[in-house]
Amino acid sequence: MAPLSASPATAGVSPSLRPSLVAYKKAAGLIPSPWCGWRRAAVATAATSSNRTAPAEIIVTGNDVPLLSFAEVAERLDEFHASGTRNQNYMAMYSSIFGGITTNPSAMMIPIDDHMVHRGHGVFDTAAIMNGHLYELEQHLDRFLKSASMAKITLPFDRSTIRSILIQTVSASKCTQGSLRYWLSVGPGDFQLSSAGCANSALYAIVIESPLLPVPAGCKVITSSIPIKSQQFAVMKSVNYLPNALTKVEGEENGGFTGIWLDDEGFVAEGSNMNVGFVTQSKELLMPRFDKILSGCTAKRVLTLAKQLVADGRLSGISSRNVSVQEGKAADEMMLIGSGILVKPVVQWDDQIIGSGKEGPIAQTLFSLILEDMRSGPPSVRIPISY
Rounded average pLDDT over 35-45:
40
**Which three-class secondary structure state does DSSP give residue 9?**
helix
Q: Which of 25, 152, 220, 237 is catalytic?
A: 237
Q: Write down how long the chain is.
A: 387
In the chain, CATH 3.20.10.10 covers 219-376
- Lowest model confidence (mean pLDDT) among 28-37, 123-132, 138-147, 376-385: 28-37
Q: What is the pLDDT of residue 93?
A: 98
Residues 6+ apart with CB under 8 A from 155: 145, 148, 162, 184, 201
Beta-bridge partners for 206: 93, 181
Taking only the tens place, the pLDDT of each residue in 286-332 is 999 999 999 999 999 999 999 999 999 999 999 999 999 999 999 99
Positive or negative: CA dihedral 159, 164, 169, 173? positive
For the beta carbon of residue 235, count every other beta carbon within 10 angstroms.
18
Alpha-carbon Rg for the chain in angstroms? 24
In the chain, CATH 3.30.470.10 covers 87-209
Of residues 208, 222, 206, the one with CA closest to residue 256: 222
Q: What is the pLDDT of residue 60?
A: 61
Rounded average pLDDT over 336-344:
96
Q: For residues 331 and 337, is the Cβ–Cβ distance under 8 A? A: no
CATH of 219-376, one of 3.20.10.10, 3.30.420.40, 3.40.50.150, 1.10.260.40: 3.20.10.10
Q: What is the pLDDT of residue 27?
A: 40
pLDDT value at 55 more than 60: no
Rounded average pLDDT over 139-150:
98
**Residue 202 Rama label (left phi>0; alpha psi -120 to 50; beta):** beta
Torsion of Cα atoms, 237 then 140 then 106 then 10, to 10°: -80
Cα–Cα distance measured from residue 370 to residue 263, given in angstroms and rounded to the nearest whole number: 28
Of residues 337, 378, 347, the one with CA closest to residue 214: 337
Residues 6+ apart with CB under 8 A from 79: 33, 35
Topology of domain 87-209, CATH: D-amino Acid Aminotransferase; Chain A, domain 1 (3.30.470)
**Please, what is the average pLDDT of the chain?**
88
Taking only the tens place, the pLDDT of each residue in 178-214 is 999 999 999 999 999 999 999 999 999 999 999 889 9
Taking only the tens place, the pLDDT of each residue in 151-162 is 999 999 999 999
Active-site annotation holds for 237: yes
